[in-house]
Structures are given as C-alpha cells and as structure tokens.
Amino acid sequence: MSDDQAPKDYKESFIHLEYQYTAGSATTTFLNQVKEGRLVGQSCPKCKAVYVPPRGSCPRCGIATSIEVPLTDKGCVESFTVVHIPIPGNPIVPPYVCAMIRLDEADISFLHLVQDIEIDQIRIGMRVQAVWKPKDEWTHSLENIKWFAPIDEPDVDVSTLRFKPS
C-alpha cells in the first residue's frame, strides 16, 4: 500500500474500483452512426433544438429528443482555446487547439480539436470540416474524427448562432 520513496508527511491509500459502462440508448444510437462515419443529432419535438451528440433529452423543455436529424460534418468554431499544458491522461502534445465546434443545423456545440492551420490563424466564426481517420480505424467514438480543419468558406457571425425556439 505504501511506497518507500513517499515523503513522510502522507500515506498512500490505494482505491481501485471497477465499473461496467453502458452508453444508454441515445448515446449508443449516435455512436453506432459515428462508427459508419455519420453524425446524427436529435431534435426536441417541442422547441426543435437540435442536439449533437444527443443525450436523449432537451434540457430546455425537459422532454425526450426523439427525432433523428442527420447532420453534415461541417460547421464553425464557436469559440476555442489553445492548450499549452499537458493534461494527465491526455496523450495530445501541447500546444493544441480545443474548440467548441458548432455543426451546421445543430443548436449546441461540442469540444474537439482544430488542426491543419497555424494556431494564430484560428478565429471564432471560422468554417471547419471534420477530418476523418481511415475508415478501417473507425470505432464507436468521436475520435473517428481526427480533428476539424478549416475550409474555404466565409466566416460566420457567431452572434447569429444563438438558438431561438420555434
């Protein structure tokens, strides 16, 4: 339990717990599509907000998001940060760009990487598209998308992206 190198002022207490993760139906459905290279969101039957990745609910309305909405793998950078420090357990070498990616037609963003561009050229509103791994490496994970890369389209005014219920 304790390790001889440890300084005198604390003792190590090892806690090891094993779990079985189950993804739930909304996430399973989404990741099954991701494995085939498709991004499919879900929309709220009431306010029509489109969620990706879907988690099975619209927290605005407190109801299930039952309608599947196929999405493109294009979108824009809603905002971003440049990570300069190594994060324990994260194999990506800094500096790298972690961005809020808002897919076209989606009403929330998710975090992903942006590459294939000089870091100081990245800007809010920049248009990007997913760069997928080779098909034979696809699994049930958004890591099938290596990162998002810029595409030659005019920037978006992100203030127009705010969701308005229909």
Partner 1 sequence: MKKVAVVGYAQHKILPNAGALNEVELIMPVVHKVFNDLGISQDDIGFTCSGSCDYLQGAAFAFVEGLSAIQTSPPIKESHVEMDAAWALYESMLKIKMGDADTALIYGFGKSSPGNLDSIISLQMDPYYISPLWPDRVSLAALQAQILLQQKIITHDEMMATVIEARNNAANNPNALLTDHVSEDLYQADSLISSPLRGFDCPPISDGASAMVIASEDKAFEFTDNPIWIEGIDHSIESSNLGSRDLATSPTIQNAITNLNLKNINFDVAELHTQFSHEVPFLRKLLNLTNVPTNLSGGPLVGNVMMCAGLDAIGKTFQSLVRDQSDHGIAHASSGPCLQHNMVVHLERHK
Partner 2 sequence: MIQAGVIGVGQTNYDSKRRDVSMAGLVREAIDKAMLAADIEWDAVDAVVLGKAPDMFEGVIMPELYLADAIGAVGKPVLRVHTAGSVGGSTAVIAASHVCSGQFKTVLTVTFEKQSESNATWALSPRYPYSPHINAGAGGYFAPFIREYIRRYEPPEHIGWKVAAKDRQNALKNPLAHLQIPGIDEKMVSETPMLWEPLRYLESCPSSDGACAMVITSEDRVGSRNVAWIRGMAVRSEGTLSAGRDEVNPQGGIDCAKDIYQQAGIHNPRTEIDCAEIYVPFSWYEPMWLENLGFCDLGQGWKLTDEGVTALDGSLPVNMSGGVLSSNPIGASGMIRFGEAALQVMGLAEDHQVEDAKISMGHAYGGAAQFFAMWIVSSSKD
Partner 3 sequence: MNDSKINLLEAPFELSYKYKRSSGPIMSKFFEGLSQKKIFGTKSKAQKVFAPAAEYDPDTREALTEIVEVGPGGTIESWSWVNSPRSHHLLKTPFAFALIKLDGADTAMLHMVSDCDESDLSTGKKVLPVWSENPTEAITDINYFILES
* Alpha carbon distance 163, 160 (integer Å): 8
Only one of the segments 17-25, 34-42, 70-78, 82-90 lies at the binding site for partner 1 (rule: CB under 8 A); that segment is: 17-25
113, 90 in Cβ contact below 8 A? no
Number of residues that bind partner 1 (CB under 8 A): 24
User: Binders of partner 1 among 78-117, rule CB under 8 A?
Assistant: none
Residues pairing with 147 in the sheet? 131
Per DSSP, the three-state class of 135 is helix
Contact string (CB under 8 A) for partner 1, positions 20-59, x = contact: xxxxxxxxx--------------------------xxx-x
Q: Closer CB to partner 3, residue 56 or residue 150?
A: 56
132, 139 in Cβ contact below 8 A? no
In one letter, which amino acid is 11? K
Sign of torsion over alpha carbons 121, 125, 129, 130: positive
Binding site for partner 3 (CB under 8 A): 1-2, 9-23, 25-29, 31-32, 56, 64, 66, 140
Least distance from partner 1 to the Cβ atom of residue 45, Å: 13
Taking CB under 8 A as the criterion, the residue among 85, 136, 152, 160 binding partner 2 is 85
